[in-house]
Amino acid sequence: IRANPVMLGMSASLSPADMAALGAYFAQQKPKGLTAKDPELVKIGQALYRGGDAAHGIPACAACHGPNGAGIPKTYPRLAGQHGDYTYAQLKAFHAGERGADKEGKDVNGRIMAAVAGKLSDSQMKALAEYTAGLR
Q: Which pLDDT tens digit goes with each residue over 89-124?
A: 999 999 998 988 777 878 888 899 999 999 999 999
**What is the average pLDDT value for the chain, to the nearest integer?**
88
> 11: pLDDT confidence band, cut at 50, 70 and 90?
confident
> 2: pLDDT confidence band, cut at 50, 70 and 90?
low
> 1: pLDDT confidence band, cut at 50, 70 and 90?
very low
Model pTM? Answer: 0.73
Residue type, 21: A
Q: Tell me the β-bridge partners of 7.
A: none
| Pick from 10, 34, 3, 56: nearest CA to 132 | 34
Query: ∠ at Cα 30 (110, 109), nearest 5°?
Result: 10
